[in-house]
Amino acid sequence: MKILIVDDFSTMRRIIKNLLRELGFNNTMEADDGSTALPMLKNGGFDFLVTDWNMPNMEGIDLLRAVRADPALKTLPVLMVTAEAKRDQIVEAAQAGVNGYIVKPFTAETLKEKIDKIFERLEA
């Protein structure tokens, strides 16, 4: 399972990377915004995307839309981990096809629960 972590704050990327490692996901890569993440995703090999929303150049919501619009990527599971807390935004992300939405600050348990739920659904 290869996972891409996208956040403009390197501290948050490290936290998510550590949490994923504790959950047994050792194969992770990082990108600092949507515009660097998208080419990495297009190069292939990723099974899961964890992305922030508020980032320079290309925001997480636009990355999500780009992923859903790409025939090779459209089924990639996407988990949003963001401080964006407006109801409209959560609805927007859901409509854009997000698989899970975690609002910051979050706990290790929340991350585990949402990832488990996403994979349960995919397998069902």
Partner 1 sequence: MDNDEESKAFELSLARQLVEHLEAGHGDQAAEVVRQLRIPYERELFEELGKLTRDLHEALNSFRGDSRLVELTRDEIPDAKERLNYVVTMTEQATHRTLNALDEGMPIAESLHARSLELTDTWNRFRQRELSVDEFREFARALDVFFAASGEETERLRSLMSEVMMAQDFQDLTGQIIRRVIRLVHEVEENLVGLIRLSSARMEPGKAAKQAASAKDAEPAGPQSHGPIVPNTRDTASNVVSGQDDVDDLLSSLGF
Which residues sit at the interface with partner 1, rule CB under 8 A?
A: 7, 9, 11-12, 14-15, 18, 22, 53-56, 59-61, 82-92, 94, 101-108, 110
Report the residue number, 48 or 99, with the smaller CB distance to partner 1.
99
Tokens representing 37 are 């993440």
Query: What minimum distance in Å lies between the beta carbon of 1 and partner 1?
Result: 21
Query: What minimum distance in Å lies between the beta carbon of 106 and partner 1?
Result: 7
The Cα–Cα gap between 27 and 75 comes to 20
Report the residue number, 43 or 109, with the smaller CB distance to partner 1.
109
Do you know the residue count of the chain?
124
Q: Decide if 53 contacts 61 (C-beta within 8 A).
A: yes
The Cα–Cα gap between 116 and 33 comes to 25
Burial class (CB in 10 A: 0-12, 13-18, 19+), 63: buried
Query: What minimum distance in Å lies between the beta carbon of 11 and partner 1?
Result: 4
Report the residue number, 41 or 98, with the smaller CB distance to partner 1.
98
